[in-house]
Amino acid sequence: MQSHPLFLSRAMCERLSVINSSFVSIVLTCLSSFAFAASTKPNVVLLVSDDQGWGDVGYHGGEMSTPNLDQLAKDGMELNRFYTYPICSPTRTSLLTGHISMRHDIFSPIPANLTIPHDEQLMNQAFKEAGYTTMTAGKWHLGMTHVRDLPINRGFDHTYGSLRAGPDYWTHGRGEQKDWARDGKTVFEKGYVTDLFGNEISRLIRDRDPSKPFFSYVAFTAPHPPLQAPQEYVDKYAHIDNGDRRIYCAMVEILDVAIGNILKAIDDEGIRDNTIVIFFSDNGPTTVGDSSGFRGRKGLVYEGGTRMPAIIRWPGKIPAGIRSEQPMVVYDLFPTFVEALDLKTNLNTPFDGESLWDVLKTGGKRERKTDIVIGTGTSYSVHSGDYKLGHSNINRNAPNSDPELVELFKIYDDPKETTNIADTHQDVVEKIMANNAVFADMVRNAPFREGRRGRAARIARGDSDPSGRNGVGTSGGASAPAGPPIARDNDGNIIHLHESLPRD
């Protein structure tokens, strides 16, 4: 067959030139994006759920659907002995400061007259000073005494969500007052809270400056009450008899979907290998959650209140698909990041936590250099070597308290805390108590703050405050509201929560 030379018209040549230029531009843009991802410091994403129990994830046998968390556990390292405080604000305080929360007088959900300290460097501030873009979505729950307490004024470049715990999942507030803001200013939006948190962080990741690394703290409210979820998700769990449990499972599934959206944004941006992802729950579940047989629940220093589902993923840096038995506590995370990422700090108070980067990068286990100390307003626990000490009902200011209780468990042999060996191991009890006496004194002298359930029951009975004291963070006794009253302008219009804070 005779061949013929190919002749192209001038117009065709011009079109091919345009196509070629566009193709080269696309390739260069992609290469540039991936080059930024490779050259910047690792990104960090913290995914924190609220009141989610050990058994409330699929990879621990939970009955709810959590495929994204299950896959994250396969792709990363499961932290099998990760501990938090049994209550929300202390966990968040310890996370961001690297300190035992009692140092800052935070023993319980943060009262209205306290805030996370301004003279301590927060984790996100250290990242910001290292050149990171910092972002948060979710609940703050670390103080709102003044506008300076807003997260936008505490070292975050982008903020979104609520100041208090547990806003309505549909109306984004309590009653008529909105508790919903972007960058410190109230916004009026429609949508389910958990979806909105996931969408916001996904958008910020996609819209970020790719030449800078980012730090993202996502403080989900799910599955904390109020128990609310779209009906189509609740219907998936119709086989569960308990109606509250059905809603709870639906809330966890939606949480997993939101986490999946964030992980997809990371993948779509080509930054998976350069992004550290950590997931954990802030404390144990309420009675509607599942502690998988661990003793206790939210509010108690037993394992059910403090031992949390947790995962870390950093491809190529941390071994994948394994379960770490290294004991770790939430206030270890800040010092671990400092070592792993060479962050500079400006601390007024040294870390209580210790870096565990040496064992995370190998998947090994070693003896801790420090005890794990966890406390509430009435009790504390200490993990020390093979033992766990529990010392309960020691607050001098608590009226009608139960008798003081000392418990000791060989926690590796008895993870369900069934056998108290304190009487036969007095030497161990005395040593652990002596080494941690300063923290015991903090709990012993903590101002009494009546719990919400106790307060509600007392008010229903018509009883007066048994302590004769104002509750911590209230202005008129234990029955006073947890936060400031709803503010209104001269025309009677509601001033929404973020705008109602003092500014002088």
**What's the pLDDT at 12?**
55
**What's the pLDDT at 468?**
40
Backbone angles phi, psi at 165, to 5 degrees: -80, 150
Six-digit token string for 94: 């310890």
Note if the bond before 327 is cis, omega within 30 degrees.
no
Reported pTM: 0.88
**What's the pLDDT at 454?**
57
Whether 478 maps to a domain, the answer reads no
Q: Could you tell me the residue range of the domain that residue 392 belongs to?
A: 377-444
Q: Which residues are catalytic?
A: 88, 141
* pLDDT, tens digit (0-9, with 9 covering 90-100), for 38-96: 457 999 999 999 999 999 999 999 999 999 999 999 999 999 999 999 999 999 999 99
**What's the pLDDT at 63?**
96
If DSSP states are collapsed to H, E and C, what string results for 89-144? HHHHHHHHHCCCHHHHCCCCCCCCCCECCCCCCCHHHHHHHCCCEEEEEEECCCEC
Beta bridge partners of 185: 182
* pLDDT, tens digit (0-9, with 9 covering 90-100), for 353-387: 999 999 999 999 999 999 999 999 999 999 999 99
CATH number at residue 95: 3.40.720.10
Whether 456 maps to a domain, the answer reads no
Whether 460 maps to a domain, the answer reads no
Question: How far, in Å, CA of 359 to CA of 361, rounded?
Answer: 5
Query: Residues of the chain whose pLDDT is less than 70?
Result: 1-39, 451-485
CB of 195 closer than 8 Å to CB of 160:
no
Q: Which residue carries 């030449």 as its tokens?
A: 211
Same domain, 256 and 187: yes
Same domain, 413 and 330: no
For the chain, what is the largest distance between any 2 Cα atoms, rounded to a whole number of angstroms?
107
Considering its fold, how many domains does the chain have in total?
Answer: 2
Question: How far, in Å, CA of 416 to CA of 439, rounded?
Answer: 25
**What's the pLDDT at 401?**
87
**What's the pLDDT at 20?**
53
Whether 29 maps to a domain, the answer reads no
CATH number at residue 406: 3.30.1120.10
If DSSP states are collapsed to H, E and C, what string results for 278-307? EEEECCCCCCCCCCCCCCCCCCCCCHHHHE
